[in-house]
Amino acid sequence: MRTSRSLTVVAALALASAALASPGAAQRPQKPVLHAKHWIAITGKPMAATAGAMMYQKGGNAVDAAAAMLAATATMWDVLSWGGETQALIYHPGEKRVIALNALGVAPTGATAEYYRSKGMRFPPEHGVESMITPGTPGGLMTMLAKWGRLSLADVLEPAIQMADGYPIEADAVRRIRANAELMKTWPYTAAVFFPDGGDGPEPGEIFVQEDLGRTLRKLVEAEREALAAGKSREEAIMAAYNRFYRGDIAREFVRGAREQGALVTMEDLDRWQVYIEEPVMTTYKGIEVYKLQPWVQGPVMLQTLNILENFDLRAMGYNSTRYIHTLYQAMSLAFADRDFYYGDPYFPPEEPIEGLLSKEYARDRAALIDPERNDPDIAPGDPYPYQGGTNPFKHLLARWKGGGKVLTEEAGSAEVEAYLDDFYSGTTSIQAADEDGWVVSVTPSGGWVPAVIAGRTGVGMSQRAQSFVVEEVDNPYNVIEPGKRPRATLTPGMALKDGRPYLSFAVQGGDSQDQNLVQFFLNVVEFGMNVQQAVEAANFNSFQLRGSFGDHASSPGRILLNTQTPPWVRADLERMGYTLTFADRTSGPINAIFFDWEHGSMWGGSSNHGDDYGVVW
């Protein structure tokens, strides 16, 4: 137990931190707020943000801009490619509601739990054809564009096609390519794209050409053009391109090239796959409606965390005080334990208990478990079923929870920790777009990142998302791999409405850290009064107590990432509370966000100083 003197010191420091967290005292951000009247486009790379701006200049809306940014980032291999997965939250100004788009690929034919068990695998592998799921990004992009955009597919793909014909590749992509060169050279079609002369790969600034991908994208434009010439509507013409990708010659070459390299995917897998337009899940935090995607991704974990945190006076604790960090760490640990056990594809049984998980009463009872003095390394999933009038069918598995999953201890070597952190932060990109007509789009696309197996002469890298499945029911009975099923992914855009109007739109890359960084961004604005740029740059912390979604799904209870500027007294307090401290110079995560200023009729864009994220406004 702490002494009363220690508690007095902590309380005094918390009050000091609260004072420093006021808008006037907040540290000046390194990047400026982006002020927009007409439109805004933000994403992971400057060139891709420019592609979004080009759509607005053609008369497009935020959906067109988001689709163009998605196409560009996929072409740049900005930790995703065209074979990856896409989802979106879209605010429809005519219908005055938030719509969810589900374009996550599925496990192919033959990808059963028995298949992986027979190979001695606890989880599907991190790399190679046995980690593949079907492509989702092309279908998601075209569906989104057809239903809510204004421009043609030809317009939206034009920047990406120009880039496929050759663009100056960036240093970050070059580093990833060279770091994985030995593995990538074992896959013939990948080697032909990235190492055409047999060397070490491209150099920064070198004009990187992708002839096969350029042909694939031109085939999509050709299908649209032919459909329009035959009298089809704009939407029908875009969907003709969709059909060519998933059922025509592009699909045939994708499947041929994938199967040649050992993949299990079939033409039937591509033909049966579909994009779902869904209702998002929502909770309220102090009257603000916060929206996330259904539990086929980790999005509801942010809503669960907010529900738990409503039971505490965070503002009185102070921004990044010991009490604040500890309370938020524990709340996230409780919510992520539920994520790790209860989230999965809602189109496959068993049905996820989402009503109970998002119950305010369940959150209140979970909050009561928090020990204010110590980290609890043994936090386990709760039982949400009674909060929705049901009985938990998996109580027998909950009893075995502590024994599952690899645990990274304090004694782990530096190489093991580094590999663990690489898996934990497995990247993606994020996209934010909004326009003066009221359209708002938040996307966190991913998949098919370097190192990816390219499928034949399509230029399309296969997604490695199957690694997020489990093989044993004890690890998550809702997420056991099965053909046609979607893995529980980390991708998690966010959106918030206040007084019935858009308030915040936000997303971040970074694997299992995503909702951790987003909940802190949200609290930075709502509780501590930061503007959107201050909020995306402000120092966050990350918990590693959850089970990772990649590699060997490891966890490291009590391990916490802090900013290097964390005061020594906060460090000492956290160590006494049972935490293992690690540090980084920048800990905000590469958050992109938009704040809607209804008082002045403008939009405020924030783009973190963490990475290469960039915004263009008008």
| pLDDT (0 to 100) of residue 413 | 65
Residues 293 and 512: their CA atoms lie apart, in Å, by: 15
| pLDDT (0 to 100) of residue 404 | 58
Largest Cα separation within the chain, whole Å, is 81
Structure tokens at 568: 């020594």
Residues 614 and 603: their CA atoms lie apart, in Å, by: 16
> By the 8 A CB rule, do 104 and 346 touch?
no
pLDDT category, 427, cuts 50, 70, 90?
low
Do you find a cis peptide bond into 451, omega within 30 degrees of 0? yes
What is the reported pTM?
A: 0.94
Residues 332 and 543: their CA atoms lie apart, in Å, by: 8
Structure tokens at 305: 């965390």
290: which strand partners?
283, 496
Find all residues with CB under 8 Å of 553, minimum gap 6, and list them.
122, 123, 405, 406, 470, 475, 547
| pLDDT (0 to 100) of residue 2 | 33
What radius of gyration, in Å, describes the C-alpha atoms of the chain? 23
**Segment holding 582, helix H or strand E:** strand 580-584
Residues 432 and 435: their CA atoms lie apart, in Å, by: 11
pLDDT category, 9, cuts 50, 70, 90?
very low
Residues 199 and 187: their CA atoms lie apart, in Å, by: 15
Q: What is the pLDDT of residues 200-215, one digit of tens each?
A: 999 999 999 999 999 9
DSSP 551-580: TT--B-TTEEEEETTS-HHHHHHHHHTTPE
Q: What is the pLDDT of residues 369-384, one digit of tens each?
A: 999 999 999 999 999 9
Q: What is the pLDDT of residues 110-145, one digit of tens each?
A: 999 999 999 999 999 999 999 999 999 999 999 999
* Sign of CA pseudo-dihedral 390, 472, 137, 515: positive
Structure tokens at 435: 């326009």
Reduce the DSSP state of residue 190 to 3 states and report it.
Answer: helix
DSSP summary character for residue 513: G
Residues 127 and 261: their CA atoms lie apart, in Å, by: 13
Q: What is the pLDDT of residues 534-563, one digit of tens each?
A: 999 999 999 999 999 999 999 999 999 999
Reduce the DSSP state of residue 618 to 3 states and report it.
Answer: coil
| pLDDT (0 to 100) of residue 411 | 66
Residues 333 and 312: their CA atoms lie apart, in Å, by: 16
> By the 8 A CB rule, do 431 and 441 touch?
yes
- Residue 360 CB neighbours (<10 A): 14
Q: Is the pLDDT of residue 17 over 80?
A: no
Task: Single out the residue of 554, 543, 463, 618 nearest to residue 106, CA to CA.
Answer: 463
Q: Is the pLDDT of residue 615 over 70?
A: yes
pLDDT category, 403, cuts 50, 70, 90?
low
Residues 375 and 574: their CA atoms lie apart, in Å, by: 9
Half-sphere exposure of 335 (CA within 13 A, CB side): 31
97: left (phi over 0), alpha (psi -120 to 50) or beta: beta
Reduce the DSSP state of residue 161 to 3 states and report it.
Answer: helix
End-to-end Cα spacing for the chain:
56
> By the 8 A CB rule, do 595 and 525 touch?
yes
* H-state helical runs in 211-266: 211-229, 234-247, 249-260
Among 262-271, 346-355, 415-424, the range scoring the smallest mean pLDDT is 415-424
